[in-house]
Amino acid sequence: MQLDPRAKMLPVCLLTSLAIIRNSTLQLLILLILALLLSMLVSADLSKVFSKLRIVLSTFLGIFIIQLLFNRSGEALLTAGNRVIVTETGLETGLGFILRMLIILLCGAALATSNSQASIQSLIQLKLPYTLAFMVITAISFIPMLAREVNHTLIALQLRKKKKKKIPVRQKVKTFTYLFFPVIMQTLDKAQALSIALDLRGFRSGFMKTSRMKLKLRYTDWLVIIASSLIFLMVLLIV
């Protein structure tokens, strides 16, 4: 379903806000289901979400295990003799972290279905200054570019027969400098090229920005806005 970018921004903001406010595993699971439904509603590319999830899965599991083993507050769930191994609070904290990250990934996939021009125009029609709207959307568009640069650098390291899993511990710090230094330099080069291109086109020259694109909220957009607002109030006040 094609929705106005503003109709996507509101439920995304509400879902991520509730994910921060709420700590119950059941409530976060409900929010995750709602985020999945939103992504399916706007025809988000869920295959990319799952591919990104596979990349960071080890990190998520590591943080989950740390929370599980080192959080000692709450009722004991698993003990070995007199030693407490897993507590209820540790389990809820670990699951809460994973559920929050999944909600953020799904909400990001939902926002990614809007093109940059429509997103900028939607922020302008929300009375946000054009300069600020442009900077926000440009910063968001740099995120997938950073992911591509990291992936290209990893491939370059692998072509030079440097396998990350087989690198000795002492050399890993040096190897990560080989990974992040070119990524940072390439990102700075592209940011500088973008800055020069904007200056040549008279960005922030003092003239009023106009656009032929005018976004209008349709009944489906209003339906999503009203439904998401009601669900937000219900989860916030009732659940």
Could you give the CA distance from residue 151 to residue 153 in angstroms, rounded to a whole number? 5
Examine the domain organization and report whether 124 and 99 are in the same domain: no
Cβ(98)–Cβ(60) below 8 Å: yes
Examine the domain organization and report whether 72 and 152 are in the same domain: no
Examine the domain organization and report whether 172 and 148 are in the same domain: yes
- In this structure, how many other beta carbons lie within 10 angstroms of the beta carbon of residue 18? 20
Is pTM beyond 0.85? Reply is no
| pLDDT for the residue numbered 144 | 67
Tens digit of each residue's pLDDT, the chain (239 residues): 788 888 888 899 899 888 888 888 888 898 999 999 988 888 888 887 777 777 677 777 888 888 777 777 777 777 777 777 778 778 888 888 888 888 888 888 888 888 888 888 888 888 888 888 888 787 777 766 776 776 777 677 666 655 555 555 566 566 666 667 777 777 788 888 888 887 777 776 666 667 777 888 889 889 988 988 888 888 877 65
Q: Residue 36's closest CA among 11, 18, 61, 54?
A: 11
Examine the domain organization and report whether 125 and 176 are in the same domain: yes
Examine the domain organization and report whether 126 and 153 are in the same domain: yes
Bridge partners (DSSP) listed for residue 87 = 76
Examine the domain organization and report whether 94 and 173 are in the same domain: no
Examine the domain organization and report whether 201 and 226 are in the same domain: no
Q: Please report which helix (H) or strand (E) contains residue 78, including its range.
A: strand 76-80
DSSP 206: S
Examine the domain organization and report whether 132 and 76 are in the same domain: no
Could you give the CA distance from residue 216 to residue 165 in angstroms, rounded to a whole number? 52
| pLDDT for the residue numbered 171 | 62
Q: Residue 30's closest CA among 19, 21, 17, 40?
A: 19
Examine the domain organization and report whether 95 and 137 are in the same domain: no
Examine the domain organization and report whether 106 and 8 are in the same domain: yes
Examine the domain organization and report whether 10 and 57 are in the same domain: yes
Beta strand 83-87 with 76-80 is antiparallel
The domain in which residue 203 lies consists of: 115-208
List of residues 6+ apart from 84 with CB closer than 8 A:
72, 76, 78
In a 3-state reduction of DSSP, which class is residue 236?
Answer: helix
Could you give the CA distance from residue 157 to residue 178 in angstroms, rounded to a whole number? 8
Examine the domain organization and report whether 97 and 138 are in the same domain: no
**Number of residues that this document lists for the chain:** 239
Domain count, the chain: 2
| pLDDT for the residue numbered 226 | 92
